[in-house]
Amino acid sequence: MVRIENIDIGRCVHILSRQIKRKVDESVSKYDVTAVQCSFIKIINECTKNGDVYAKDIEAKFNMRRATVAEILSLMEKNGLIVRESNNGDARLKKILLTQKSLEIQSSIEKEIKKVEDNLKKDLTKEEITQFMKTMKKMSENIE
């Protein structure tokens, strides 16, 4: 039996996160995007249904620092995945829009991500998944 005080939860979560990222990167590499870019595309697409999307919205959704989001968005813009347009009211605010290229690959990359998600959930009961999500939420709250 493993003693609870000997478990390094942070390291285990980090390892799992890297495994997931590696698997998604591998699955979507044929579309010349990364796992993070796929997540951004999905969130931008979802959020644009409710209005304009700005970098600060992405920062909040992913709990990421401004500089990190700016770097990822710059690369996405360079690779033709997004365009940024000035806001009429404030030239400093740049609205983020998906390009046709992003929209064309979106359903394909979502299918690839779903395969990884399905593989993650394989052999887990609904109760195990629910408990895992509750535990992750508590841990996230604890660390804030």
**CA quadruple 109, 112, 116, 117: dihedral sign:** positive
Phi, psi of 82, deg, nearest 5:
-140, 165
pTM of the full predicted structure?
Answer: 0.80
Is the residue at 23 inside a domain? Answer: yes
Is the residue at 72 inside a domain? Answer: yes
> Could you read off the pLDDT of 48-89 as tens digits, one per residue?
888 889 999 999 999 999 999 999 999 999 999 999 998 777
Is the residue at 1 inside a domain? Answer: no
What CATH number has the domain bearing residue 63?
1.10.10.10
Task: Say how far apart CA 124 and CA 106 lie, in whole Å.
Answer: 28
pLDDT-derived band of residue 7, with 50, 70 and 90 as boundaries?
Answer: confident
Is the residue at 95 inside a domain? Answer: yes
Q: How many domains does the chain have?
A: 1
Is the residue at 120 inside a domain? Answer: no
Is the residue at 28 inside a domain? Answer: yes
pLDDT of residue 4: 64
Is the residue at 88 inside a domain? Answer: yes
> Could you read off the pLDDT of 103-133 as tens digits, one per residue?
999 989 999 999 999 999 999 999 999 999 9
Domain extent at residue 66: 7-115
